[in-house]
Structure formats: structure tokens, C-alpha cells
């Protein structure tokens, strides 16, 4: 694997993470991270949509008139979102209902449109697919980390299964209801950004 392709794959996951570094896609990270199951499905959905949309737009990039490129991008992304939504309705209706409008709002997710505009329209299909998938994975990693702590501390469960023993509750332990409120997702996200920038000194503003 050449250096450029390796950077395309790894950069969005770590050094150029779309949420913790570029601070994109924040709204959904606050809305769907109450439970791990919902966060995982949202992460997978965004990864699939970002990857396939980048691939399709890269394939047709030379035939897209510049003045209507945004409209065509939106059509491609909307098609991918509809396909993902229909699959969820068919095979995971409960989760689809739980995520509600947030699956549909992937259409306006700035990560998806941003990668098409910044990368897919000027690169070949294979690197564009990898770039889209990597950005989706980077986005999904943050969602899952935030959801892990919110569900564990707020509900005492992970993926809906009880993980905190009953003896803890008998001894006086209580779930922290504040953790499942949206402001706590923002606080956890801030902690992730702080930790990452403490480790990666080059991300700190001079």
C-alpha cells in the first residue's frame, strides 16, 4: 500500500477525525448516543452512505457539469440514504423507529457532502471509496465511545444488557440520569477532544 493511500485511510480515523478534529457532524453525536445500539447503527449507516456516495460521485465526476454538481451530489446521497433506511425498516425496524428522523438527516450531514466535494470529485473511485469509509469509521468511533459511557453510567447497561451487578444497586448505587441528557454528550465530546489534543500536540492552536 502506498503512503498516500495509507494516509487516506488512517488520517480520518485519528489525526483528521471529522468529529474530534474537524468538529463536523456534532448534532447527530448528541442525539443518537443514549444507547450503544442506536449509535452503532447510525455509525454503520453513515459509513455506508459516505463510502458509496463518494464512490458513485467519483465514477461520474467527469460528466458532472460544475454548475449543478451540488444538486447531483444531493441526489446521490439521498439515494444512498433511502436504500439504507429501507434496509433498516426491513431488518431492524425497532432501531429505525428509534433513530427516527436522524437517518434521513444523513442527507444533510456535512461529513458526507464534504468528502464528496473535497475528495471524491478530484480522485479515482477506489481511493474515494476508502476515503468515504474511513471518514465514516472515524465518525462512528466517536459516537460509540460517547454512547458507551452514556449508556453504562446512565442506564447501567451495554447494548441493552445489564452489566452493573444488582448488588451495586442494593448497596446504594444509582444510575446517573444526567448522563443520558444531551448536554452530557457535549461534555463527553469535549473531553475526547481535549484528550486527543493533549496527546497530539500538533493539533493544538498556537
Share of the chain above pLDDT 90, in %: 42
Q: What is the pLDDT of residues 154-165, one digit of tens each?
A: 989 999 899 988
204 vs 199 pLDDT, higher one: 199
165/173 Cα distance (integer angstroms): 10
Are 99 and 42 within 8 A, CB to CB? yes
pLDDT at 9: 86
The set of residues, in sequence order, having a beta carbon less than 8 Å from that of 69 and lying 6+ positions away, is: 121
Please state whether the predicted TM-score (pTM) of the whole model is above 0.85.
yes
What values do phi and psi take at 157, rounded to 5?
A: -130, 165
3-state helix, strand, coil in the chain (%, to 5): 75, 0, 25
**Sign (positive/negative) of CA torsion 61, 138, 198, 1?**
negative
Mean pLDDT of 29-49: 89
Q: What is the pLDDT of residues 48-94, one digit of tens each?
A: 999 999 999 999 999 988 899 999 999 999 999 999 999 999 998 88
Q: What percent of the chain has pLDDT over 70?
A: 97
Q: Which residues contact 105 (CB under 8 A, 6 or more apart)?
A: 27, 28
In the predicted model, what is the mean pLDDT of residues 112-133? 92
For residue 122, give the DSSP letter: G
Extract the C-alpha cell encoding 77: 446521497
Evaluate whether 81 touches 103 at the Cβ level (below 8 Å).
yes
Amino acid at each position: 500500500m502506498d503512503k498516500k493511500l495509507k494516509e487516506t485511510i488512517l488520517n480520518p480515523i485519528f489525526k483528521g477525525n471529522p468529529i474530534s478534529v474537524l468538529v463536523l457532524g456534532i448534532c447527530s453525536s448528541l442525539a443518537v448516543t443514549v444507547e450503544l445500539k442506536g449509535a452503532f447503527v447510525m455509525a454503520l449507516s453513515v459509513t455506508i452512505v459516505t463510502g458509496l456516495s463518494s464512490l458513485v460521485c467519483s465514477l461520474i465526476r467527469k460528466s458532472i457539469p460544475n454548475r449543478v454538481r451540488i444538486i447531483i451530489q444531493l441526489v446521490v446521497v439521498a439515494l444512498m440514504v433511502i436504500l439504507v433506511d429501507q434496509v433498516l425498516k426491513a431488518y431492524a425496524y425497532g432501531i429505525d423507529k428509534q433513530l427516527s428522523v436522524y437517518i434521513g438527516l444523513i442527507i444533510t450531514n456535512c461529513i458526507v457532502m464534504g468528502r464528496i466535494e473535497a475528495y471524491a470529485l478530484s480522485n479515482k473511485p477506489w481511493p474515494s471509496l476508502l476515503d468515504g469509509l474511513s471518514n465514516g469509521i472515524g465518525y462512528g468511533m466517536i459516537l460509540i465511545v460517547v454512547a458507551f459511557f452514556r449508556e453504562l453510567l446512565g442506564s447501567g447497561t451495554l447494548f441493552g444488557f445489564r452489566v452493573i451487578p444488582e448488588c451495586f444497586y442494593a448497596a446504594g448505587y444509582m444510575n446517573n440520569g444526567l448522563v443520558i441528557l444531551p448536554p452530557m454528550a457535549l461534555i463527553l465530546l469535549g473531553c475526547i477532544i481535549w484528550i486527543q489534543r493533549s496527546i497530539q500536540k500538533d493539533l493544538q492552536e498556537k
